[in-house]
Structure 1
Amino acid sequence: MTDTLSAEDAKLVTLARATRARARADEGAAVRDLDGRTYAAASVRLAHLDLSALEVCVAMAVSSGAGGLEAAVVLTGAEPALSALHDLAGPGVPVMVGDERGTIVRSLST
């Protein structure tokens, strides 16, 4: 399924993979806002802070003034929670879900 991605979506996969590997995290994610800016993050697991990679991406986009999102990628071994993404972007945003290696295995929508 990764072979059929647009260049912009493939970039999101690359960013999510690289960020996850660099942080040695359980998850990696990347999102693209309505202006074409991208945000990539890894999951955060601390004693007093527990955020999915997708939640960190959404927080980064919000703090940068993004008015919405047009696409997301999340690399995880678990079922991704899309509530934060839906809060910012609303319904209909494509979410590509991949395994920990970065192979996209399915697509969802907010």
Structure 2
Amino acid sequence: MPESPAAPAARPSPSDPVALSAEDGKLVVLARGARARVGAVEGAAVRDQDGRTYAAASVTLPSLAITALQLAVASAAAAGASRLEAAVVVTEASTLDGAGHAAVRDLSADAPVHLAAPDGTVLGTVTG
């Protein structure tokens, strides 16, 4: 299968971690847990239109590489989600990966994507 070009990495705008809603704070906890459970580079969690949550870790295999955010979005879509309310990525990177951002935008044009450090500190939010 030919590779599709990845969207450019999105830079989050600075955000105050206290400004997260309780529901978005839960996503940070889920994403941190997914990352830590398997020692992955990144973890992610999303919440769909019904309030269901999906968490995932990045996967790198010889025949498959998928970001944590792509996998969380794919899990939501496979479960029937038609819209996302919010997403979180926990990573050491300072930018949101373009492929994960594009996956979120496939289901929601305006869901906030929070970027958090491994300790849970929110570094910023991408809203567009």
Q: 1:28 aligns with which of 43, 62, 72?
A: 43
RMSD in angstroms over aligned alpha carbons? 1.1
Q: 1:93 aligns with which of 111, 116, 121?
A: 111
Tell me which protein shows more strand as a share of its residues.
Answer: 1
Q: 1:39 aligns with which of 54, 60, 78?
A: 54
* Superimposed CA distance per residue, residues 31-80 of structure 1 (whole angstroms, 9 cap, x where no aligned partner): 00000000011100111110100000011001000011010001122322
- Following TM superposition, the consecutive aligned residue runs of length 4 or more in structure 1 with deviations greater than 2 angstroms are 1-4
Larger radius of gyration: 2
> RCO (CA 8 Å, sep 6+): is it higher in 1 or 2?
2
Distance in 2 between the 1:76 and 1:53 partners?
10
Q: How does 1:13-92 map to 2 (within 5 A)?
A: 13-78=28-93, 79-80=95-96, 81=98, 82-89=101-108, 91-92=109-110
Q: 2:124 aligns with which of 101, 106, 109?
A: 106
Q: Give the residue type in structure 1 aligned to 2:127.
A: S
Per-residue deviation, 1:92: 1.2
> TM-score, normalised to structure 1's length?
0.93
Return 5+ residue gaps in structure 2 as ranges.
1-15
> TM-score, normalised to structure 2's length?
0.81
Aligned residue pairs, count: 109
Residue identity over aligned pairs, in percent, reads: 51
